[in-house]
C-alpha cells in the first residue's frame, strides 16, 4: 500500500510518467522486500544471545570476502557486458560461505553482495529499467543463501545433539558395565 501511494505521489507530481506506474511500484516493492530479506536476518543474527558453534579461520574469511568481491567484479566490472547472465556467478561464493559459516556468514555475505549490486547499478551506467531484473536476481540469491545457511545451522545443531546423546549413552554403558562388574565380583 505504501509503495502504491508513494509512486502515485510521484506520478501526480509529474516526476514519473503514468505509463511507468506499475513498473515503478514493482521496483519499489521488490527493493523494499530485498531490504527486509537482507537486513532482518542480519539484525537477528547480530543480536542473538548465543554465539555460533563454528568459527572459521580468519584467513578463510578474508578469502571468502575476496571471492565475493571478485565475483562482483566479474559480473559488473570486467566489461563483458552480460551482467544479467553472469549474475549467477555470485551464487558460488555465497554457497561456499553458507556451507562453511552457516546463517551468520550468509547474512554478512548477502549484505556485501547487496552493497556491491547497489554500487554497480548507481555507478555502472545501467538503464533504470534494468534495476528490476537485478532486484529479482538479488532476491533469489538472498533467499537461496538464507535457506542454505539455515539448513547448515540446523544440521550442525542436530549433529551436536547427536554427539551429546552419544556421549550420554557411552557414559550410561560404562556405568552399566561397571555395575555388572561390581555385581559379578560381589557374587564371586
DSSP 137-177: HHHHHHHHHHHHHHHHHHHHHHHHHHHHHHHHHHHHHHHHH
Q: For residues 146 and 143, what is the distance between their CA atoms, to the nearest angstrom?
A: 5
Say how far residue 96 (Cα) sits from the centre of its chain. Answer: 11
Q: Residue 180 burial (CB < 10 Å; 0-12/13-18/19+)?
A: exposed
pLDDT at 106 (0 to 100): 93
pLDDT truncated to tens, each residue of the chain (188 aa)?
A: 888 888 899 899 988 888 888 888 888 888 888 988 999 999 998 888 765 555 667 898 899 999 999 999 998 887 767 788 888 999 999 999 999 999 999 999 999 999 998 888 888 777 766 778 888 889 999 999 999 999 999 999 999 999 999 999 989 888 888 888 888 888 88
pLDDT at 54 (0 to 100): 58
Cell triple for 169:
549413552
pLDDT at 128 (0 to 100): 65
pLDDT at 113 (0 to 100): 92
55: left (phi over 0), alpha (psi -120 to 50) or beta: beta
Q: Are 21 and 8 a contacting pair, CB within 8 Å?
A: yes
pLDDT at 134 (0 to 100): 86
pLDDT at 111 (0 to 100): 93
pLDDT at 181 (0 to 100): 84
pLDDT at 179 (0 to 100): 85
pLDDT at 131 (0 to 100): 79
Q: Among all chains, which residue has been given the C-alpha cell 537461496?
A: 144
pLDDT at 53 (0 to 100): 54
pTM: 0.76
Amino acid at each position: 500500500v505504501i509503495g502504491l501511494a508513494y509512486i502515485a505521489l510521484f506520478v501526480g507530481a509529474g516526476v514519473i510518467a503514468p505509463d511507468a506506474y506499475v513498473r515503478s511500484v514493482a521496483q519499489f516493492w521488490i527493493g523494499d522486500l530485498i531490504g527486509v530479506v537482507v537486513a532482518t536476518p542480519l539484525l537477528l543474527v547480530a543480536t542473538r544471545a548465543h554465539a555460533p558453534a563454528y568459527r572459521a579461520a580468519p584467513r578463510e574469511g578474508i578469502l571468502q570476502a575476496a571471492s565475493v568481491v571478485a565475483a562482483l567484479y566479474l559480473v559488473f566490472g570486467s566489461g563483458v557486458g552480460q551482467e544479467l547472465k553472469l549474475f549467477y556467478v555470485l551464487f558460488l561464493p555465497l554457497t561456499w560461505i553458507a556451507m562453511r559459516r552457516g546463517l551468520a556468514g550468509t547474512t554478512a555475505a548477502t549484505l556485501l553482495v547487496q552493497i556491491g549490486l547497489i554500487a554497480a547499478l548507481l555507478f555502472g551506467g545501467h538503464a533504470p529499467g534494468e534495476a528490476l531484473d537485478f532486484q529479482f536476481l538479488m532476491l533469489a540469491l538472498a533467499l537461496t543463501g538464507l535457506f542454505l545457511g539455515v539448513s547448515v545451522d540446523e544440521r550442525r545443531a542436530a549433529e551436536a545433539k547427536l554427539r551429546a546423546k552419544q556421549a550420554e549413552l557411552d557414559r550410561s554403558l560404562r556405568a552399566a558395565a561397571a555395575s555388572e562388574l561390581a555385581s559379578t565380583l560381589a557374587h564371586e
